[in-house]
Amino acid sequence: MEYSDHEKNCGRSGMVVTWRRRFSSALLVATLALPGAVMAQREGVDVGGNSGFARLVPADDIEASAGKQYTEILMQAASQKALGSADNAQVIRLRRIAQRLIPFTNEWNPRAKTWKWEVNLIGSKQINAFCMPGGKIVFYTGILEQLQLSDDEVAQIMGHEIAHALREHARARMGKSAATSMGAGVLSQLLGLGDLGRTVTNYGVQLLNMTFSRSDESEADLVGLELAARAGYDPRAGITLWQKMAASSQSAPPQWLSTHPAGNTRIADIERNLPRVLPIYERARKE
């Protein structure tokens, strides 16, 4: 069958219109799929998504292991009469600050809604603090007393440590270790994650003493900065905190600082992100 020139042109026009419609639809879908590309940018800091390695290890197993270790740490401290009591002024202070930070954790990790948060104080000269997976927080008296921290500065430290848990840095490192040690071939057979769950027990001892990468620490700094701001704590305290930490480490770095890169670069990162969080802080302070 032969078509006239008019019919051919109409056919071409129809194909062009159809193609344009399909292209426009595809472009719309692609645009909506790009976070922040055209849609309004999220207020606050931008640290990207969590590491894909975290998905290789079950979160429930990590958090259960952390809870067990946390209980052992508290029992040991109690046996040495070093565990702060519920009516201790510093314990009350820490728990008050945590209560203001915790409501803003859910946006960073939906699992935080189900965490059984705990905040405790251990009497020790260590300049140290941590938050284990599942929201298990410990401060040592040394970091509070030797650095003479304000509430704003405590909120920066607590926010930083909470951020490690929210961003699942320990889980990601374990997943990466599992992938490396087991090999891609074996790993592909374990997508059900059952055996990987047992692997967690082999890494459990690492939770308390785990060191994070520089990028992990930078993420924790910025997420902690925002958490503190949303809770009404001055994010500029991040600068004074690190100045105090630097001054305390002139002879030898304290334990908390030894696994946390510090210096002018770190303060510069905080200063660069202050415009993102100061408006949040100003609003929170007025509420």
Measure the N-to-C terminal CA separation of the chain; round to a whole number of Å. 76
Q: Report d(CA 1, CA 6) in Å as an integer.
A: 15
For 137, the enclosing helix (H) or strand (E) is: strand 136-140
Residue 271 among the catalytic residues:
no
Share in percent of the chain as helix, strand, coil (round to 5): 65, 5, 30
| CA dist., res. 73 & res. 123, Å (int) | 12
Name the catalytic one among 63, 153, 161, 217: 161
**How many C-beta neighbours within 10 Å does residue 80 have?**
11
Close Cβ partners of 117 (under 8 Å, ≥ 6 residues apart): 98, 102, 135, 136, 137
Helices (H) and strands (E) in the chain, counts: 12, 3
- CA gap 252, 127 in Å, rounded: 12
Query: Hey, which residues are catalytic here?
Result: 161
